[in-house]
Amino acid sequence: MKRFFARNAPAYVFLLPWLIGFFLLALGPILASLYLSFTRYDMVSAPRWIGWGNYEYMFTRDRRFWKALEVTFTYVALAVPARLIMALGVAMLLDKGLRTIGLYRAIFYLPSLLGASIAIAILWRQLFAADGVVNQVLAMVGIQGASWITDPDTSLYTLVVLAMWQFGSPMLIFLAGLRGIPRDLYEAAEIDGTPGWRQFTRITLPLLAPVIFFNLVLQTIDSFKTFSSAFIISNGTGAPADSLLFYTVYLFNEAFKFFRMGYASALAWFLLVIIATFTAIAFFTSKYWVHYENERD
Amino acid sequence: MTKLTRRALLGTMGATAAAAALPAMPAFAADRTIRHYWWGNPERDKRTFAVIDTFQKKNVGIAVSGETIGWGDYWTKMATQTAGRNMADLVQMDYRFLFEYVNRGALKPLDEFVGKSLMIADFDKGPLDGGKVDGKLYALNIGSNSQVMVHNTRAFQEAGIDADLINWTWDDFAKACEKITAKSGGKMKGSDDLSLMIETFESWVRQNGREFYSPDGKVTATAGDVTSWWQMWADLRKAGVVRDKNKTVILDPPIAESGIAVGDTAMSHYWSNQLVGIQAVAKDKIGAAMVPHKAGGKPGQFIKPSMFLSLSRDAKDTAAAIAYMNAWVNDPEITGILGLERGIPCSPKIRAALAPKLTEVEKLSVDYFTAIQSKVGPLPVPAPKGAGEVRDAFMRIGTDVVLGKVEVAKAASTFIEDAQAIIERAQ
């Protein structure tokens, strides 16, 4: 016991702010929302216990719930790979050893800082409006652009592009990962005359696997929780025609527009299950494709 | 004081007006503060902050903090504040939402103040009763209005439209749209596409001899009503005489982006109290026409309380709040500032006092109001709980129709099914 403390005390001291925050601020609401998910609660009168009623309605009768899942899954399936490929690509370019790398790193990271902000979402709406910048540029080269944001067929893709543009934080992690790959491996490959793309598939990717895995999990969780950009661009409703009805936007509307806190809590808990499932799948399959350098098998 | 500034700045549109109003607020001396929350537009915000100013000058010791936001975000913020038990003391209320908020217990009845600190004995009975739910007064009428087809008088003149704009029919309307579009060479379309406007659609249903909701809160509009409505607009779109579909599907745009303000179209549907606000952003002189009638149909339009002032459950200093409320409808200086921007006041005394000082556009709204008196139907029953969500569903499903992605009749029956399910679930 004494040894445990001697060894771990510093860690717990560092964890303390988070632990205090978690127990004081987060745990209570989390448990409350679990309870509320089994009730009907309009925020004014007291919650009424209805057992599995909310979950039953969700799966059997709520068409918009399925629509929200469809939108969110499509988004995650497109945005996560797009962002990771973009991040890895840029990281590899920067890894070539530019002298002003610090500056470039900062510049490329900038969109990630701005991307979650309301201002960028509004800007995005302007860019992709029927008479926005994107269409004006397209018109210059003779292409008649679509009405990207107001057309349910294309609105989701504008958000995927937005997600792609926010590649900053996975890029930094990739960059750190790339730096960790021993140079002599490439030198050896160079001497053997291995072409560049084979160096990439045989050296870079396998050695980067832990980092890719880390980024994949983080970005997947992040994408499932996408809210502010979709909320702003769709005017808070998931419009046009529910094509931007992200799960979180639907949840927000159920809770704060239609006063169905109980149902919204149920939705929130199901989102937790979805994210947990995907994370679990990622961890479970990781042993087949992620190898750590210090592992000996 | 810093608190007041921060709150005032939260209102996106009211920010400038708030900054202008701040220096005059003697809030340092105030030990009683009440919050007033309303949906606005630049013109309304300017007037309201001037009212707050005047009230504070006359009532030293009471500070009023104004919070304003556009209609589109108003109800979201209101719901959040309701949930957080942090509602403003006085909230602007709409007929459509009154029933929902009363049923949730979010508002306090005003009956105990009437005749004591709230003097409304000589007010018009009809408009006043619009604020009653189950016999109790929950909302004080601060203006009445009716639907109006706002139109560009210059475009109408140039296209040579001579229809009687009070008694005209949907056929006349379609012809007017054609003429205006042809005259401008397609640059200005005849009208905004009203496919997604459930407010206008409700008039359509009434013209067919039905109400949208029955007194016991059931959906009585039929899929046939919806089909004929969406089909009519689909035909107008096909003819190219209404606004571009990609503009139509932008929901609840601010007044400054409406077709009539930017000059895309010669007609838009609004509420008559908004005439003042629209004229403020429109280049040409505007006129007021009734929603077109169905040939041989019933009256669709109605006169309703445009806005209410309600006392929220969270109000602490009710005496101060009621004093403010009373000044709103009785103080000659304050009602003079407000004018008709929120609608026609229901106090005969105030109306008489306003008459000589009316601006051109205010006179337009009074004349319009007088002209339609005998052409309107009775006030429909308050919408049941869930009506706000039905409105969303109408716009959501209608979007697919406007963009031509779904068959009209199919979308119409989907909407009626959804509306029924929404209302049933909300009870």
Task: Choose among B247, B251, B386: nearest Cβ to A235.
Answer: B251
For B2-142+306-346, CATH number?
3.40.190.10
| CA–CA gap between residue B364 and residue B286 (Å, rounded) | 9
Task: Choose among A150, A238, A257: nearest Cβ to B79.
Answer: A257
Task: Choose among B104, B247, B250: nearest Cβ to A42.
Answer: B104
* Cβ contact, residue pair A257, B396, below 8 Å: no
Query: Where along chain B do its domains lie?
Result: 2-142+306-346, 145-303+374-426
Q: Of B343, B292, B416, B323, which Cα lies nearest the Cα of B55?
A: B323
Helices (H), B297-359: 318-330, 332-338, 348-354
The Cα of B283 is separated from the nearest Cα of chain A by a number of Å equal to 21
Amino acid at position A230, single letter: A
The rounded average pLDDT for each run of 10 residues, N- to C-terminus, in chain A (297 residues) is 80 91 90 94 84 93 93 95 93 79 80 73 83 84 80 88 86 89 88 86 88 93 90 83 92 88 95 94 87 61
Backbone dihedral angles phi then psi of residue B297, each to the nearest 5 degrees: -90, -175
| CA–CA gap between residue A168 and residue A158 (Å, rounded) | 18
pLDDT score recorded for residue B26 = 43
Task: Choose among A43, A240, A256: nearest Cβ to B76.
Answer: A256
Which residue is closest to A152 within chain B, CA to CA?
Answer: B400
* Residue A55 resides in a domain: no
Q: Of A267, A297, A198, A247, which Cα lies nearest the Cα of A33?
A: A267
B244 contact residues in A (CB cutoff 8 A)? 130
Task: Choose among A61, A240, A259: nearest Cβ to B104.
Answer: A259
- For residue B377 the two structure tokens come to 């139907």
Which residue is closest to A236 within chain B, CA to CA?
Answer: B73
The Cα of B236 is separated from the nearest Cα of chain A by a number of Å equal to 20
A211: CATH: 1.10.3720.10
Which residue is closest to B72 within chain A, CA to CA?
Answer: A235
Q: Any residues with CB less than 8 A from the CB of B416 and at least 6 apart, and which?
A: B219, B221, B222, B223, B226
pLDDT score recorded for residue A148 = 84
Range of the domain at A91: 60-289
| CA–CA gap between residue A81 and residue A90 (Å, rounded) | 14
Which residue is closest to B81 within chain A, CA to CA?
Answer: A256
Contact B202, B380 (CB under 8 A): yes
* Cβ contact, residue pair A44, B82, below 8 Å: yes
* Residue A32 resides in a domain: no
Which residue is closest to A261 within chain B, CA to CA?
Answer: B83
B389 contact residues in A (CB cutoff 8 A)? 257-258
* Cβ contact, residue pair B76, A236, below 8 Å: yes
* Residue A45 resides in a domain: no
B399 contact residues in A (CB cutoff 8 A)? 152, 239-241
The Cα of B41 is separated from the nearest Cα of chain A by a number of Å equal to 18
Task: Choose among A237, A240, A256: nearest Cβ to B83.
Answer: A256
Q: Assess A240–B contact: CB distance below 8 Å, yes or no.
A: yes
* Homologous superfamily assigned to B145-303+374-426: Periplasmic binding protein-like II (3.40.190.10)
Q: Any residues with CB less than 8 A from the CB of B166 and at least 6 apart, and which?
A: B289, B290, B371, B372, B375
* Cβ contact, residue pair B83, A258, below 8 Å: no
Backbone dihedral angles phi then psi of residue A231, each to the nearest 5 degrees: -65, -45
Per-residue pLDDT of chain B (427 residues; tens, 9 = 90+): 334 444 433 343 343 344 344 444 444 445 789 999 999 988 899 999 999 999 999 998 999 999 999 887 898 888 888 878 899 999 999 988 888 889 888 999 999 999 999 999 989 887 888 899 889 999 999 998 899 999 999 999 999 999 999 999 999 999 999 999 999 998 999 999 999 999 999 999 999 999 999 988 899 999 999 999 999 999 999 999 999 888 888 888 888 888 999 999 999 999 988 898 899 999 999 999 999 999 988 999 998 888 999 999 999 999 999 999 999 999 999 999 998 888 889 888 898 899 888 889 989 988 898 888 888 888 888 888 888 889 999 999 999 999 999 999 999 999 999 999 999 988 7
B83 contact residues in A (CB cutoff 8 A)? 43, 255-256, 259, 261
The Cα of B391 is separated from the nearest Cα of chain A by a number of Å equal to 12
* Cβ contact, residue pair A43, B250, below 8 Å: no
B391 contact residues in A (CB cutoff 8 A)? none
Which residue is closest to B399 within chain A, CA to CA?
Answer: A241
* Cβ contact, residue pair B399, A152, below 8 Å: yes
Which residue is closest to B253 within chain A, CA to CA?
Answer: A235
A262 contact residues in B (CB cutoff 8 A)? none
Q: Assess A200–B contact: CB distance below 8 Å, yes or no.
A: no
* Residue A226 resides in a domain: yes
CB pairs under 8 A between A and B: 72
* Residue A194 resides in a domain: yes
B314 contact residues in A (CB cutoff 8 A)? none
pLDDT score recorded for residue B25 = 44
The Cα of B88 is separated from the nearest Cα of chain A by a number of Å equal to 16
Give the burial class of B192: count Cβ atoms within 10 A of its Cβ; 0-12 exposed, 13-18 middle, 19 or more buried: buried
pLDDT score recorded for residue A98 = 67
Q: Any residues with CB less than 8 A from the CB of B360 and at least 6 apart, and which?
A: none
- For residue A60 the two structure tokens come to 């059997």
pLDDT score recorded for residue B13 = 37
pLDDT score recorded for residue B348 = 85
Which residue is closest to B397 within chain A, CA to CA?
Answer: A241
* Cβ contact, residue pair A236, B73, below 8 Å: yes
Q: Of A120, A67, A108, which Cα lies nearest the Cα of A228?
A: A120
B313 contact residues in A (CB cutoff 8 A)? 44
* Cβ contact, residue pair B83, A240, below 8 Å: no
pLDDT score recorded for residue A115 = 60
Contact A64, A242 (CB under 8 A): yes
The Cα of A124 is separated from the nearest Cα of chain B by a number of Å equal to 15
**Helix and strand tally (H, E) in chain B?**
19, 12
What are residue B69's DSSP bridge partners? B39
Q: What is the pLDDT of residues A75-126, one digit of tens each?
A: 999 999 999 999 999 888 888 766 777 788 788 888 777 766 778 888 888 8
Mutate which of A48, A134, A245, A256 to disrupt the B interface (most B C-beta within 10 Å)?
Answer: A256
Contact B205, B298 (CB under 8 A): no
* Cβ contact, residue pair B396, A256, below 8 Å: no
Could you give the number of structural domains in chain A?
A: 1
pLDDT score recorded for residue B30 = 53
| CA–CA gap between residue A201 and residue A178 (Å, rounded) | 13
Measured between alpha carbons, how far is residue B415 from residues B129, B230, B311, B317, B380 in Å? 32, 12, 35, 44, 21
* Cβ contact, residue pair A235, B246, below 8 Å: no
Which residue is closest to A235 within chain B, CA to CA?
Answer: B251
